[in-house]
Amino acid sequence: ACASSSASGLFSGADQVARLLGEMEAEIRVAFDARLRLLSTELRSELLGEVSTRMATVEARCHGAEAAMGAELRRAAADLGVRMRTLEVSRGNGEGGGGNSKYLSDLMEERRYQRSLEAADSASGTQASSKTMVSTSEGQTSSSAKR
């Protein structure tokens, strides 16, 4: 009887240890899951912040490049227009004699005006100046064509 009571006490002690180990394992799993969720949330917010910062930088660079290219295209178009009109005058497509020098003078004045608009556009970096320049140069082109 004594052997059976000590054996049952031994098994009840082993059962109690197993139960305690099971409880500890469950607590560890809950704590580990909570910590993992917290780290996951922190990492996600860091990554989103980094991505949004880099995207803002890329957008700013693209807008800057776009503005620079637009200004360069407007400058090249204005320069080409002046050169074409100058070539037309030199080939005799303009008005005769004294009219050619007046026409050339008007072309040079138009070019100086366009350059001042381009300088203002470059300095301010706004689209409003470039729109004014395009509409103004179109108006001057049509008035030049009437001559």
- The 10s digit of each residue's pLDDT in 6-59 is 555 556 788 899 999 999 999 999 999 999 999 999 999 999 999 999 999 999
- pLDDT tens across 80-129, in order? 988 888 887 777 655 544 556 777 778 888 888 888 888 877 777 654 44
| Residues in the chain, overall count | 147
Q: How far is CA 51 from CA 23, 39, 40, 54, in A?
A: 42, 18, 16, 5
